[in-house]
């Protein structure tokens, strides 16, 4: 993964035009990671990967695809489990000694930040997360994982263990040519604030959540 004293490399995937444009060390509360910045030249999207250890040519790499959630990741919203999942993934990868977090700019399951706030307003009126997205004219989940797959290919991982409760992520990566050999659960403890949100994920989106009982 290059040296650990800071450098800038460029490497482009011929499939999608996803280019590695920058990388540096990133010390965090959970340990030292390498942060790599990628750009999709077709869409202009910027994608970040946090990398622990040498994953090029490695098998069974622990990987988390994390969709950007400003409210959960930055403002510590307790409407969702996103921020807690991100921190749990960082802890688990640090403990494992190697792994990757691909941080993708698909806020609100792909509807964007401002539409996500509009969806929040509908949730304040009693809709769940799926109903709110549909009311705004979007699919329940509009995310695509092709760019994430190209980032993993660029990093040279051979096969992965995916930290996710969402079977659609597994299917999306497999269809994009990534060898997903295992889905690793990443559940957070439910509480009174998140329980209905998590029930919606399980009942309407097929997320595998063993800690959540449907009514």
The first and second tokens of residue 208, run together, are 């595998």
Segment (H or E) for 49: strand 46-52
Cα angle: 51, vertex 57, 58; to 5 degrees: 65
CB 195 within 8 A of CB 211: no
141 is catalytic: yes
Instruction: Give the contacts of 206 (CB within 8 A, at least 6 positions apart).
Output: 166, 167, 168
143 is catalytic: yes
Residue matched to tokens 């698909």: 106
CB 162 within 8 A of CB 180: yes
d(CA 179, CA 162): 10
The first and second tokens of residue 16, run together, are 């999608």
d(CA 189, CA 204): 20
CA distances for 103 relative to 18, 35, 164, 206, angstroms: 14, 10, 13, 22
Name the active-site residue from 141, 183, 192, 215.
Answer: 141
Name the active-site residue from 20, 84, 143, 199.
Answer: 143
Q: Which residues are catalytic?
A: 141, 143
């Amino acid at each position: 993964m290059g040296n650990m004293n800071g450098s800038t490399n460029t490497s482009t995937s011929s499939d999608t035009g996803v280019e590695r444009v920058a990388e540096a060390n990133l010390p965090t509360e959970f340990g030292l990671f390498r942060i790599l910045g990628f750009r999709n030249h077709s869409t202009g999207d910027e994608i970040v990967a946090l990398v622990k250890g040498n994953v090029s040519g490695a098998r069974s790499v622990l990987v988390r695809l994390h969709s950007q959630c400003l409210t959960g990741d930055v403002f510590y919203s307790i409407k969702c489990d996103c921020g807690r999942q991100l921190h749990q993934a960082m802890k688990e990868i640090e403990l494992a000694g190697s792994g990757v977090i691909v941080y993708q700019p698909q806020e609100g399951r792909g509807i964007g930040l401002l539409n996500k706030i509009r969806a929040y307003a509908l949730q304040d009126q009693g809709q769940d997360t799926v109903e709110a997205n549909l009311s705004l004219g979007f699919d329940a989940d509009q995310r695509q994982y092709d760019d994430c797959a190209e980032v993993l290919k660029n990093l040279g991982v051979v096969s992965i263990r995916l930290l996710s409760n969402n079977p659609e992520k597994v299917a999306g990566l497999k269809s994009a040519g990534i060898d997903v050999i295992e889905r690793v659960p990443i559940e957070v403890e439910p509480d009174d604030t998140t329980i209905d949100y998590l029930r919606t994920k399980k009942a309407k989106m097929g997320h595998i959540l063993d800690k959540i009982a449907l009514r």
